[in-house]
Structure formats: C-alpha cells, structure tokens
Structure 1
Amino acid sequence: MGDARHLPPPAQEALRWGTVAAWVAGWDREDVAAVFGVSLKGVGIWRAKW
C-alpha cells in the first residue's frame, strides 16, 4: 500500500476502522499490521484511541 498518509481522509478513516475491527475480531497486532499494510505502532495507537 505504501504510506497511508497520502490517502484521502475518508480512506484513512476506513483503514483505521478496519484495523480496529480486525483487532476486536481477535486478530493479533502483527497480523493486522501485515494484512492492512500499516505499522505495528499505528495499530497500537488506533487500538488505544478506540
């Protein structure tokens, strides 16, 4: 995917919600990061904010 900061804001929001939904569904942080193409740090931050 590359750097998600270059996506339009609605796409960034969808990506964030997708990662949180996957985590809530029981995925581990490493799998979420790999599948969505984001950093482990990003997953942790979004999860904490949720």
Structure 2
Amino acid sequence: MEGTRMPIIDVDMACGFTSASHFAKCFRAFNRMSPQQCRAIVPAWVGPGLR
C-alpha cells in the first residue's frame, strides 16, 4: 500500500488474495485501519518505473 500507486484491488491480487473483502479484513486486523484509510494518510513514494 505504501510503496505503490496500484489500485487497491490490484494490490490484494498481487499479495495472493482472491477476494478484496478478505484482503481488507486481514489488512484491518493487522494495521488497525482499512486499506483506504492507509492510502489517505500515507503518501505513495513510488519512483520512476515502479508504477
């Protein structure tokens, strides 16, 4: 989430999740915030070629 500007749905698939809702549930349990909340407060620090 912090190192990419990929859409959240693409991040969850890249992490091996087959369901966006399962990814969001696991993300929230680990980070105590939703993926959307994380994106809102943590800027993406992506350099050239990593999009």
What TM-score, normalized to structure 2? 0.36
Q: Which structure would you say has the larger RCO, counting Cα contacts within 8 Å and 6 or more residues apart? A: 2
Higher-Rg structure is 2
